[in-house]
Amino acid sequence: MKFGKILLILSMLSFSACATSSDKDMKSASAPKGTISLSFDDAPRKSSFFSGEQRSKRLIESLKKSKVERVAFYVNTSKMDKEGAERINFYAKNGHLIGNHTHTHPMLNNTDLYDYIRDIREAHEILEPLNGFEKLFRSPYLREGNTLEKRDRVREDLDRLGYRNGYVTVNNYDWAMEDLFQNAKKQGKKINFDALKRVYVDVLVDSIRFYDDMAKAVINRSPSHVLLLHENDLAAMFISDLVKALRKDGWEVVSPEESYSDEISLYKTSTLFVGNPGRIGEIAKDNGWKLSKLWHEACDEKYLENLFISEGVFTK
């Protein structure tokens, strides 16, 4: 299997560990130690439990309280009406990175290639004048194309614009937990916010351990991780609790720039993914891992719904 010149810098990859990996293997017995940065997709999201302004203020206050100086917000510029633009500028003024997440959040797999490229460029034109803007691009849904033509053509266009890939190393379904919460509110269900916080934090911490164990199996080390989150109400409510849990688990929360300076930032997968598990999953798949082993168990909407019920977050 050919992986390209970039594998020269990843000569430490281990091929033997993947053949016997199991879900139990992914559970680390001891607390991991390493660095991780936080990133929030789909900013500025519209109002739901909080107003948009309330959510933004709560996020920034919580990050300051937690002494997290810099995170990344990946922006859909079609949401930047007057209030949305003010919120994105608010994030930038507070020292946070602003990245490109397309204009309208299309999925490349079912979008015309040239419409998708135009969507990226429209977002670029809006974001480029902003303070805090960095040429980092993250694909909506982490989908980078279901054909080689789409994937490679978008890569080439981003290269021409001077963009780097705003990849994640820790994939998860925080968006599905948000949906469960919002739907429960709409249905008038009673919500146990202590249980909700516990489940949210525990699922995310366990997903980080899962992908860190995967990284140790395929590159023999813990890289500087990038956690996928969304700019939603659960993040606004519980980001301080998450950061506290991460530090207790041995993690240092660092800037996006530090994470993206890791050598895995240069990696380009040879595999065409219909659904992308993140950078560590890409490397694992290129080293023979089965697709079914590349996602944490909580990357499943039904699993999360059952977990919410069993943990008493809400009742049916």
Give residue for tokens 């990175």: 97
Q: Is residue 238 part of a domain?
A: yes
Q: Tell me what pLDDT residue 248 has.
A: 97
> Could you read off the pLDDT of 29-75 as tens digits, one per residue?
344 479 999 999 999 999 889 999 999 999 999 999 999 999 999 99
Count of domains for the chain: 1
Q: Ramachandran region of residue 107, left (φ > 0), alpha (ψ -120 to 50) or beta?
A: beta
- Report the run of H or E that residue 69 belongs to, with start and end: none
CA–CA separation, 220 vs 224, rounded Å? 13
Structure confidence at residue 316 as a pLDDT band (50, 70, 90): low
State pLDDT tens for residues 193-211: 999 999 999 999 999 999 9
The mean per-residue pLDDT over the stretch 225-252 comes to 98
Cβ–Cβ < 8 Å for 72, 289: no
Least confident of 30-39, 119-128, 162-171, 249-258: 30-39
pLDDT digits (tens, 9 = 90+) for 281-290: 999 999 999 9
* Range with the poorest average pLDDT among 15-24, 100-109, 213-222: 15-24
Residue 315: pLDDT band by 50, 70, 90 thresholds? confident
The domain that holds 91 is classified in CATH as: 3.20.20.370
- Is 67 a member of any domain? yes
Percent helix, strand and coil across the chain, each to the nearest 5: 50, 10, 35
Residue 316, domain member (yes or no)? no
Can you name the residues that pair with 229 across neighbouring β-strands? 40
DSSP SS3 for 296: coil
Bridge partners (DSSP) listed for residue 230? 41
Say how many residues make up the chain: 316
Show the DSSP H helices in 74-219 as ranges: 82-93, 113-127, 148-161, 174-186, 193-219
Is pLDDT of 7 > 50? no
User: pLDDT by residue (tens digit) across 95-151?
Assistant: 999 999 999 999 999 999 999 999 999 999 999 999 999 999 999 999 999 999 999
The answer to the question of residue 6 being in a domain is: no
User: What one-letter code names the amino acid at 259?
Assistant: S
CA gap 241, 10 in Å, rounded: 35
Confidence of residue 2 (pLDDT cuts 50, 70, 90): very low
Q: Is 5 part of a structural domain of the chain?
A: no
> Domain residues for 294?
12-310
pTM for this prediction? 0.89
Residue 7 falls inside a structural domain = no
Q: Is 74 contained in some domain?
A: yes
Answer yes or no: is 4 within a domain: no
